[in-house]
Structure 1
Amino acid sequence: MTAAPEGPTGIDELLERVRETLDRVEAVQAYEAASSGEALLVDIRYAALRDRDGLIPGALVVERNELEWRLDPRGSHRLPEATRHDLRVVVVCNEGYASSLAAASLHALGLHRATDLVGGFQAWRAAGLPVSTS
């Protein structure tokens, strides 16, 4: 039997591989870590979703296309919260897919404690955790 030729990785395989490198957190864990100051929640959802569904109080809103520039502790465009590479960052997207890829990108920048929220904002809201409207 011949092995299948190596080809491009599909998104499902890439997502699975990326998630193996992350210590992903559930909504209540993310809430507790943020409340205690152990983690910085970063909401990467686009504006229309934030407007429609609301915000996580205290979460830092960073558009996905700016994430690496804003959170790189050595970057010239970093946010004041991006102070060190061991910062615990929990990335939040809408349903927990894009956030996994975003957290992996932060790992590549040296933010080795970056992870994401399983199920994203929708899991946060379903858990009955605080949400504010603009």
Structure 2
Amino acid sequence: MIASDRQQATVDAILQALTGDQALAALVGQRIFDAPPGRAVTPEITIKLVTAMDQSSADTDAQRLVFDLDVWDRYALGTDLSRPRIIMGHIRRILHLRALTLVGANLVVLRCINAQGPFRDPDNVALHGIVTVSALAGHETPS
């Protein structure tokens, strides 16, 4: 499996885990994207690859992938940060220490390694929080 295949397969598995959770769906519906949509209704979550590092050894092929899951919401007068904070909590609950199966790879172990915000963006329109997830993908034995 080449690196780009593993990255997309990991994103697909994260999307499936998040969209399959009823509590999160009650807050964001199906607005979970692997690329920022144009003018989407908020709240929404976008997934972006931050880094991809080789973690292979002499007998295994593996890659560590780090993703930011950006939580976006709209600020309105009187709005507090509770909704994006709750969404970030659901992301951590769903993904932290979760093992996912990928096509062509034996194991992906996810860890939530950081969270920032939520905070009001300088435009005074967007509320933004970030959950950073690290995934170890691979550990298949080469043929």
Give me the TM-score of the superposition, normalised by structure 2.
Answer: 0.26
| Structure with greater proportional strand content | 2
Give me the TM-score of the superposition, normalised by structure 1.
Answer: 0.27
